[in-house]
Structure formats: C-alpha cells, structure tokens
Structure 1
C-alpha cells in the first residue's frame, strides 16, 4: 500500500467505540496510510418524532449530528497523536449502502473497514443486513472486524480454491494471495494458505464424467486429489508461500476454515468473493456462510478490479 493510500472506517451511529477503531488505526499506522472515519447516522425516533414540529425536529437532528461529529473528533485525537492522518465525517442518511458506494467511488480507498454487526439467522432470513450487501457489492477490499486479539494482526490465513475447470476466475486466487501477502507484510505477521478440498461440492458432469458413481471411484478420487494438490502447490509457490505454510485439508470449507482459525488463534482470514455457479464453491459463497461464524476477523477481496 502506497504512502498516499487511505482506509475508510465505517462506524456505528450510536457513538460506540468498537475494536474496529483500534484495528483500523493500527493498520493505517503500520502502512503509512491515512484514515477516514465516517458515521452514517439515522435514528428512526429522531427522524419521525411526531410530538415536535418540523423545525424543532431539524434542530434536534442537526444537534445529534454535531455531537456525533465532536465525538468522532475525540476518538480521532489519540490516533493523530500516534502519527496517523485522520479525517472524520458524519452523514445523515436512512439507507447507508448507496452512500458508502458513492464515497468509495469519489474517494478511492485501499480498504473499507467495519465492525461486523451480528444478526440472528431469523433476522438475516427476513431482510438482508448492510454487512451482507457490502459483502456482495463493495468494490474494494472489505475488512470485517470481530474477535480482535491484537490491534495489529499477527497470524493471517489466505483461503483459496484454485481448481476451476472453466478457468473463469483464473488469476483471482493469485490476487487473493497478493492481497494477503501485502497485509502480512504490513503487519509483520505470519501467513499461511489453505485450500479446503471438498469432493462433495464438485459435480460429476463438471469434470466430464457421465455418472457420479464413475466420478467417485477410489482411483478417480485419488487422481483428482493429486491434480488439485499439484495446482494448489503451483499457486502457492509462484506467490512465494513456502511448503510449510501450505495446507490442503479435506473437508467442508466452512468447517475447515473455522476450525483452523480457532485452533491456531488466527487474527484475520483473507478470502475471495465471487459468484460462481449460484454460490456453490469456496471462492464466493463461503464468505457469507462463514461471516457470522468465524472466530476471527475477515478480509474480503473483490474481483471487480481483477484486470488491474
């Protein structure tokens, strides 16, 4: 990340100091980047208060925004004392998604950082949370902060899925590893790479077999496993990942990654987000499956700038 790069930290409208502040500051300090902190405010009760007239309601809104702006400045002061260039902004908007995307278009950022807001399964089934919308639409690396052990990450894992028959996302795994390596370098952190190998997620016709029974013979499965292993090792080696840091683990990707992160006290897992065959493979849907389950923070790489 260049000296001129900037991180954007999106914070809660409730004036709460979350670990995302500390992680964003540590990353900005370590990388020499600036930090722009934005609160997208909207309080339903304040916006629709029926017992006051419109002018009084507007004054209340402006007063809240000003108090939040002052509060953000108070949070920014110790970060500036650390040598981080910090700017703050408060925007009153009911639906922040489009405003966030507009901000990213008008003010290019190296990454968007945000505390993960935990939602119940029922809530996620009823409506799509902002975090999921961002996961699907954010064009820059997206860092969801949760379960923070260290302000500056010490252990980072990159999750890849290099075995695509159609080659549609050829090069995307390299991008994931480049982003993970860059982050590890900034943090002076350990970096491992994992390929969670799961035959059950691969269909027989995808690899030219007429029936599943022919596809899942022991010989065929071993041949496929060996081919995947060769592809994985080639990917890791050309990105400078030493053999002892390469891990090909058989099992459901979501379970493998969550268990590994928990067992080895991982701080951040770097994953790719793409839509592949209706959200079926690791590079893509697994991020949504894992987002609320991972015992660590998640750094999501977008394919939008794949051709950069």
Structure 2
C-alpha cells in the first residue's frame, strides 16, 4: 500500500489472538509505519442504572476502560520489536464503526486493519455489521484479515471492472492494481486480475429468434479480455495472470480466489451509491461472504465519508 504511515488496528475484545495486529505489524515493518490499537467498548447496563449517580456511572466506565488499557498493554508487550511504534486507544462508544471512523479522520490514518470472523463449520468469513459500515463509510482502505499468513510467492487477486470506459471507473481500477503491485513487491507475491462478464440475457434469446447468442457472447468476451489485457500491460501484470470469465462477480471472484489459493482479494468500494463498478451492495455482499481470504477494500480518490460530511 502506498503512503501507509499510520495504521489503525481494530481490536477484537473477545480473544487474545489478534490476527489484525499480526498482519499490521508485518505491514508496518515494511512502511516504517506507526500502529494504534483501537478498542471501542460499551455496556448499556451502565447507562441504564438509575441507582447510581452520574459520577458513579462515570467511575464504573473508567474502571472498565482502565482494565482494557492494561489488557492492550499486555498485548503490545508480546508483539513489540525495535523501531516499531505502537500506542493504544480505548473509547466508550455505543456505535463502534462511528468511533473507529471518527478516530481515523481525526488522526489522519492511512489504513484500517480489522480481523474477520470465521465460521467453524463452513470455513467461510462472516462479516459483522461493523465490517460493512467500515467498508461503506471509512475514507481510507480497509483490510479485513483472516487467520493465515501471507506466504512468499503468494497471490493477490484484483477484482477489476472493465464494462465501461468511464474515467472514474478506470481510475478505481488503476488504484486497485497500484495497491496490489506495491504489496506484491513488499511480500514477493504475484498479482492477478479477475473480471466477470455477463452472459447472453435469456429474454433476448427468447424474444428474438434470429439473435445469435454465441456471437454476442464472443464479442462481449473479446471486449473484456482486450480491456483487461490493456490494464495488465500498463501495470506489468503477466498476461497469463489475467482471468476473464463469464458469470456474475459474486460467483467468479470467490471461485477464482479459491482456485488460485489467493491470500488477498482487492476490490473497489464507494458505499451504496455512485459508481456501478463499486461492488458494495447486493453483489458485493455475496462476493465478500464467499471469500476465504483477506480482503482489501479501496475507495476512489476524493471519496468523503458520510461522517466527514455530517
């Protein structure tokens, strides 16, 4: 990732094993970046206790916060290494995603790193409401981490959209691949591009008997392959690392990620409005819930969080 100097790690209060912190330490060591461990906590029972005075409730909140600060200090001591700057921040807030994004904005952070939940039976990542809010509303890239390493010679999969030549779409594609190339150089990984294109609409084949579905499909495929090839050439991605497949993104991207045994999928997000290239929405929810690897969600240049605008 380019210009990554300050990393905010969202801590999972339910476990001592912090996969997001482990990933952030590796990233920080390659960027000489600083890390902040961020924990947002809230207990509604403290707010509803009418027996206690406001001062007593505040004292109880402070006691809980102090316990968590001590817990984070212990976590830091286990990952501390020379030259690595790590600090901690614990806040009392009833909406974790808001507290995270506000801290990112106020502190001018460059990246959010957060662990995801893995379902024991299906071995699939389960994304929490906080994950979704961060991907939709955070003004910086969000890296959602699973419990595995990034091995040497691993694979980074870029989900690109080449259905239109709109400059805004192209800029987002460029940004996705640029991030991938930076990470690939740092972790000795290979970059792959994936693009799904729609098949022949069934209604066309039914309503127009003379419609040549095969020729239509071939022309769409060739167009997408050419545009992906142009992207690959511009960014130095090997031609045999371009994957253009017929199908919906929610099917094509996870299937290829599994097939390649990719460590990371990078895609573009802008919330629920704006670019049709953005995957957030129903399509992305299917894509992301089917992934079994890390995910890096990238915003277009100039994106502003609703919390910045509010």
Structure 1 residue corresponding to 2:298, chosen from 286, 290, 301: 301
Structure 1 partner of 2:163: 163
**TM alignment of 1:132-171, pairs within 5 A:** 132-146=132-146, 148-150=147-149, 154-164=154-164, 166-171=166-171
**Cα offset for 1:202?**
12
Structure 2 partner of 1:48: 48
Question: SS of 2:251's equivalent?
Answer: helix
Deviations 1:89-119 (A, max 9, x none): 1111111333222222222222111112579
**Cα offset for 1:46?**
3.5
Give distance in 2, aligned partners of 1:155 and 1:300. Answer: 17
Give the structure-1-normalised TM-score: 0.82
Structure 2 partner of 1:254: 250
Structure 2 residue corresponding to 1:240, chosen from 236, 239, 248: 236
Structure 2 partner of 1:272: 268
**Cα offset for 1:199?**
3.0
* Residue 227 of structure 2 is aligned to residue 227 of structure 1: no
In the superposition, relative to structure 1, how do residues 113 and 277 fare at CA in structure 2: closer, same or farther (>3 Å)?
Answer: closer
Cα-Cα RMSD: 3.1
In the superposition, relative to structure 1, how do residues 201 and 63 fare at CA in structure 2: closer, same or farther (>3 Å)?
Answer: farther
Give distance in 1, aligned partners of 2:109 and 2:288. Answer: 22
Do the aligned partners of 2:159 and 2:195 also contact (CA within 8 Å) in 1? Answer: yes
**Cα offset for 1:45?**
2.8
Structure 1: 5+ residue stretches without partners:
120-127, 205-210
**TM alignment of 1:101-250, pairs within 5 A:** 101-117=101-117, 129-146=129-146, 148-150=147-149, 154-164=154-164, 166-199=166-199, 217-250=213-246
Do the aligned partners of 2:9 and 2:37 also contact (CA within 8 Å) in 1? Answer: yes
Structure 2 partner of 1:125: none
Do the aligned partners of 2:200 and 2:217 also contact (CA within 8 Å) in 1? Answer: no
Question: SS of 1:194's equivalent?
Answer: strand
**Cα offset for 1:69?**
0.7
In the superposition, relative to structure 1, how do residues 57 and 11 fare at CA in structure 2: closer, same or farther (>3 Å)?
Answer: same
Structure 1 partner of 2:284: 287
Do the aligned partners of 1:176 and 1:270 also contact (CA within 8 Å) in 2? Answer: yes
Give distance in 1, aligned partners of 2:5 and 2:32. Answer: 8
Question: For structure 1, which segment, 136-145 or 11-20, has the greater mean C-alpha deviation from structure 2 after superposition?
Answer: 11-20
Give distance in 2, aligned partners of 1:202 and 1:27. Answer: 47
Give distance in 1, aligned partners of 2:302 and 2:201. Answer: 27
Question: SS of 2:229's equivalent?
Answer: helix
* Residue 21 of structure 2 is aligned to residue 21 of structure 1: yes
Matched length: 291
**Cα offset for 1:82?**
5.2
Give distance in 2, aligned partners of 1:53 and 1:212. Answer: 75
In the superposition, relative to structure 1, how do residues 177 and 165 fare at CA in structure 2: closer, same or farther (>3 Å)?
Answer: closer
In the superposition, relative to structure 1, how do residues 177 and 26 fare at CA in structure 2: closer, same or farther (>3 Å)?
Answer: same
Question: SS of 2:230's equivalent?
Answer: helix
In the superposition, relative to structure 1, how do residues 101 and 171 fare at CA in structure 2: closer, same or farther (>3 Å)?
Answer: same
Give distance in 2, aligned partners of 1:214 and 1:170. Answer: 35
